[in-house]
Amino acid sequence: MDPADSQRPLEVRVAYSPWPQTIEQVDLRLAPASTVRDALLHSGLPQRHGLPLDGLEVGVWGRICTLDAALRHQDRVEIYRPLRVDPKEARRQRYKGQGRSPASRAAPA
């Protein structure tokens, strides 16, 4: 790693989807040793949407991480919404509404 790279500000993006089909993104320039927590605080997204930092589920490029995780240049920090319905249960309800079970869709033997 080039020593000059360790002194260069980190360019990161913080993304949050407050509801389906909507994404809010904030591009930031942070100090070289910044963490996910720093990015969230500087983005203002948790404050804008009333999200408490403690207990917030976050990740970097789709991988869950802690708020103390170190960031790298051009990382994408993502704030995850909790699931309202278990995906398996939602699928069962859709099939129930159609009057058939998932097992009935199996290919004939």
At residue 105, the pLDDT reads: 57
Q: Is the pTM of this model over 0.75?
A: no
pLDDT tens-digit series, residues 72-95: 999 999 999 877 777 788 788 888
CB 67 within 8 A of CB 53: yes
> In whole angstroms, how far apart are CA 44 and each of 7, 18, 39, 47?
25, 13, 9, 5
Q: Residue 109 — very low, low, confident or very high, per pLDDT cuts 50/70/90?
A: low
Q: How far apart (Å, rounded) are the C-alpha atoms in residues 31 and 50?
A: 25
At residue 42, the pLDDT reads: 97
- pLDDT for 1 beyond 70: no
For 3-103, which CATH class? Answer: alpha beta
At residue 58, the pLDDT reads: 97
Would you list the domain boundaries of the chain? Answer: 3-103
- pLDDT for 101 beyond 60: no
Q: Residue 100 — very low, low, confident or very high, per pLDDT cuts 50/70/90?
A: low
- pLDDT for 60 beyond 80: yes
